[in-house]
Amino acid sequence: MVKEILAKDFIKIDKNKITIVDMREEKERQNTCFEGSINIPVSKFWAGIDNIPKDKPVYVFCNSGYFSEEMVILLEERGYDATNVLGGYKEIKNFII
């Protein structure tokens, strides 16, 4: 079972203690970059997977939460402590002030 977190709870986490992976494509990120995140678009995920450190828990989101859920499964299979942010950026943006 994939670990998941609600966007409202994700926003409260100390971002210095986690790695955030933003899987949105460039066209989806226009002026909505999430501070402190590593951007690895879905289309380039395999090329960028080595850029994800394993020393902290990894929280992954895409635009809607669908692709990030799949990637969390793959990351877990490779030894990452990974969590999917439910609803993706569409949900996260509701809690950003």
Q: What's the pLDDT at 31?
A: 63
Query: How far is Cα 13 from Cα 5, in angstroms, rounded to an integer?
Result: 11
* Contact present, 62 and 88 (Cβ < 8 Å): yes
- Look up the CATH number of the domain holding residue 61: 3.40.250.10
Query: 44 lies in which domain range?
Result: 4-95
Predicted confidence (pLDDT) per residue in 28-83, tens digit: 776 666 777 888 988 898 888 888 999 999 999 998 888 999 999 999 999 999 99
Domain count, the chain: 1
